[in-house]
Chains A and B, each alone.
Chain A
């Protein structure tokens, strides 16, 4: 059964590699003819290389060129990146992405924790219905979500009608066209999409927390808040990390929602985000090289955040394993 083990003992540099190697050393793989593996892998890998891997390097390469997308590109070194540092639109977009992190990440995680704290004690009936309903915004097309909320926020839309009906007519306004309120309005939609995801993640996590920990906390006289603070919250560390990385990436990547809600970042540049900027520079202003540079920065931030959180998670797991041993 260990016939194939000497075939590929590699230095494991990453946690992924380490875990993989550990798995492989422990249990053996059933098949000993590696060339077959390449055959199974080849068709998918070929598509992946041509349509993902090569383009990634292509984007990186183009970011050093002045290129319209049509004419032959001219090498300009780091000029695109230098321009980025002075581009007010770019910093505005990055700033807006950072602002949306509050609504995409922070608020949904807090709401999710709050709802989880409500639901963890005692068995609730109809959990499936709540779970299915609360998760719904996560599953539906962001374009439709955008269209629905554009209608809800419209000057003669339901939200303003409701304000008028309760005597707050002075508050009624075209929310998405308002210089001050548009970023908040877009943010609210983001929170609405993300909190169900956080909640579902946390509930799944909370269900695996040992009931005895709560009993122990009660014996020591912990009240509901203390139980949440010292049992539920630490127990959900992994899930909070995952929710953080998912929603954070969503905040950085957001495109379709903004594209539909404020017709690409308006009013002015109040809701402009990085991905919209990539699109506009590349396909509306024919500055593909510059668009590529923005895309590279955006991708680097996403990969960096993912890797850091994965590391944190791996360290967590290692520590847990150490405790168990």
Chain B
């Protein structure tokens, strides 16, 4: 049973689609524009900013990768993001397990203290952090970028994994304990397989946040230690005024998150919404 195109309801639906289409266009078009620009020459961009590039040229990407040092920034990004995501996920899974499955003296107080980490911006910790990193001799090393992000990700991850463990059926755990499983067995063999969806969402969210992190890296890193967003924002010299090269560099920053987002958009959106509702 199809609604007639001319019925009031059909008109309404058509209007809805049209309006949504306009908003979708506004949301997506700037990204499409930057990708197209990345393949154009400067002259081509000036003459026809809205057209498709005449040829799919990769020179701008080469210029950004080699000339503007984006190879180094890319390496930095990977060397920071991978440890942050892996370490935070492990630490948060363990602490989420503790908060979700045990009760112990001070648990609600500790949880409140960790809740603070969900609210504070990096601005609130950056000055002492800079000092601490100097004292530890870690300033201008990857650790100065990794450890603070692990600490803040741990706060979010703890709440995330705690919610996950609390929602798992306790009967399974009880049964496993009766069967004589050790705590570690319960966590690793019983609960971990059930927690995979939650862990996947956590990994995806932490990946995005760490990849896009700007303020901490801006303060803590210089030279080739900079990650992609900071390298891009601080790009100076002849490439900084070359819009197609800037566009190619921007695409390099976007692409990894974009690929992950398209594959895991459900985890992204539900994760950010659920994370917001819970915290």
Contacts and interface: CB of A to CB of B under 8 A. Distances in A.
A34 B102 contact: yes
B55 interface: no
Interface in A271-323: 275, 278-279, 282-283, 288, 291-292, 295-296, 298-299, 302-303, 306
Interface stretch (A115-123, A167-175, A177-185, A215-223): A115-123
B185 interface: no
18 contacts: A5-B103, A8-B107, A14-B112, A30-B177, A30-B186, A44-B158, A45-B114, A51-B148, A56-B120, A57-B128, A58-B128, A69-B127, A129-B24, A135-B268, A136-B261, A139-B268, A242-B277, A288-B127
A40 B90 CA distance: 10
Contacts of B262: 132
Interface of A is mostly: helix
B255 to A, nearest CB: 10
A134 B27 contact: yes
Interface residues of A, number: 111
Contacts of B232: 143-144, 147
B85 interface: no
Contacts of B258: 139-140
A208 to B, nearest CB: 12
Interface string A254-269: 0110011000000000
Nearest to B128: A58
Nearest to B17: A124
B155 interface: yes
A76 interface: no
Interface in B108-126: 108-117, 119-121, 123-126
A148 B125 contact: no
Given A7-B104, A33-B183, A132-B269, 15 more contacts: A10-B105, A10-B106, A10-B107, A45-B110, A47-B91, A51-B150, A51-B151, A59-B125, A115-B20, A139-B208, A140-B31, A140-B212, A291-B127, A292-B127, A302-B120
Interface in A108-156: 111, 115, 118-119, 121-122, 124, 128-149, 151-152, 156
B157 to A, nearest CB: 8
A292 B177 CA distance: 50
A187 to B, nearest CB: 15
B277 A30 contact: no
A141 B152 contact: no
Contacts of B95: 40-41, 44-45
A253 interface: yes
Nearest to A57: B128
Interface string B168-187: 00100110010000010010
Interface residues of B, number: 102
B27 A37 contact: no
Interface of B: 9, 12-13, 15-17, 19-20, 23-24, 26-28, 30-31, 33-34, 37, 46, 49-50, 91-92, 94-95, 97-99, 101-117, 119-121, 123-132, 147-148, 150-152, 154-155, 158, 166, 170, 173-174, 177, 183, 186, 208, 211-212, 214-215, 218-219, 228-230, 232-233, 243, 246-247, 250, 253-254, 257-258, 261-262, 265, 268-269, 272-273, 276-277
Contact of B28 (A59, A136, A282, A303): A136
Given A200-B269, A299-B123, A47 B104 contact: no
Contact of A52 (B30, B37, B151): B151
Contacts of B124: 55-56, 59, 295-296, 298-299
